[in-house]
Amino acid sequence: MRFNVAQLLQEGVGARRNYSLDVTFEPLPETGTTRANGEITLTHMDNAVWASGPIETNAFGTCARCLNISEYSLHFRLNEEYIPTMDIYSGAPVSDNVIDETGEGTFALEVDHTLDLTEAVRQYAIVNLPMNPLCNSNCAGLCSTCGTNLNDSHCDCTTHTDSRWSPLLDFLVTNTKE
């Protein structure tokens, strides 16, 4: 997910390049993301390149009910600014003042004026992971007594209810009959 933006930086502010993204790569840390698809627009801004566009990636995580590892599809819109580290015309390093003004949270172009989307995609994938991921919407989960995965087989455990809940259970049973 690397793009050489040297030519774009030599054009005027507002110049754009559109790229189709359909790549596979080594699994990223935290999410296990191995592919990304989408349309990326790179726009030359004053002292920066803006990368934006819709991205679809995959991620792997543990199902909140049955604890199996499952693959998820993530959709998000990437919007990030990339600051050059080398002047495009002189080849001199960019002043630290320019980098300090942009603050934390912005990405830097590599010395050879290459924009790498990998870290941005990794961060967006982490933020867009579901809070309680499920392998499927009908996941039965694990038996609370023996730990059997109820998606694969049924267990022979009997349901034990705490006697302290019996007044509420009686209330629930009488209200559902009416």
Residue 132 lies in a domain: no
Judgement on whether residues 57 and 14 belong to the same structural domain of the protein: yes
Q: What is the mean predicted confidence (pLDDT) over 8-35?
A: 95
Is a pLDDT exceeding 90 seen at residue 38? yes
Confidence of residue 116 (pLDDT cuts 50, 70, 90): very high
Instruction: Say which residue, 34 or 166, is predicted with more confidence.
Output: 34
Please tell me the total count of domains within the chain.
Answer: 2
CB 18 within 8 A of CB 40: yes
Confidence of residue 61 (pLDDT cuts 50, 70, 90): very high
Q: What is the mean predicted confidence (pLDDT) over 94-104?
A: 56
10-24, 81-95, 101-115: range with highest mean pLDDT: 10-24
Judgement on whether residues 116 and 162 belong to the same structural domain of the protein: no
Name the pairing type of β-strands 69-83 and 107-108.
parallel
Q: In what order do the strands lie in the sheet with 48-62?
A: 16-24, 35-45, 48-62, 69-83, 107-108
Judgement on whether residues 117 and 77 belong to the same structural domain of the protein: yes
Q: What is the mean predicted confidence (pLDDT) over 93-115?
A: 73
Judgement on whether residues 110 and 153 belong to the same structural domain of the protein: no
- Residue 177 has what pLDDT? 61
How far is CA 121 from its chain centroid? 6
Three-state DSSP state, 28: coil
Element (H, E) at 125: helix 118-127
Is a pLDDT exceeding 60 seen at residue 47? yes
